[in-house]
Amino acid sequence: MPRRAACGLASRLLWLQKKFCAIAPHAKLVNIQFHEGASLDDVSDLLEGSGKSMRHVKVNSKKDLSRRLTRLIKRAATNAS
């Protein structure tokens, strides 16, 4: 395995160990799914869902990409590390 390919594989595996969200595009919206969303402090009441751990945010337009959502994503990333 060439060095570059090995480094790329290692960096992807490292990312997978720290995954905190997934982006799921649909025809009319995008879902941002938080793997441990149930444990996030969602003061803006953006998260939807009732599963054991996963929660999601529906993004229907650019307006939905607010500072509140950005802060929520940063909190999820911080909790995952």
Indicate the pTM of the whole model. Answer: 0.68
d(CA 74, CA 69): 9
Which residues touch 24 (CB under 8 Å, ≥6 apart)?
30, 31, 32, 33, 56
CATH topology classification for 19-80: Gyrase A; domain 2 (3.30.1360)
Q: What is the pLDDT of residues 10-41, one digit of tens each?
A: 444 444 456 778 888 888 888 888 888 899 88
Average the pLDDT over 60-79 and give the result.
Answer: 80
Q: What is the pLDDT of residues 33-69, one digit of tens each?
A: 888 889 988 888 889 999 899 999 888 887 777 778 8
Both tokens assigned to 28? 């009319």
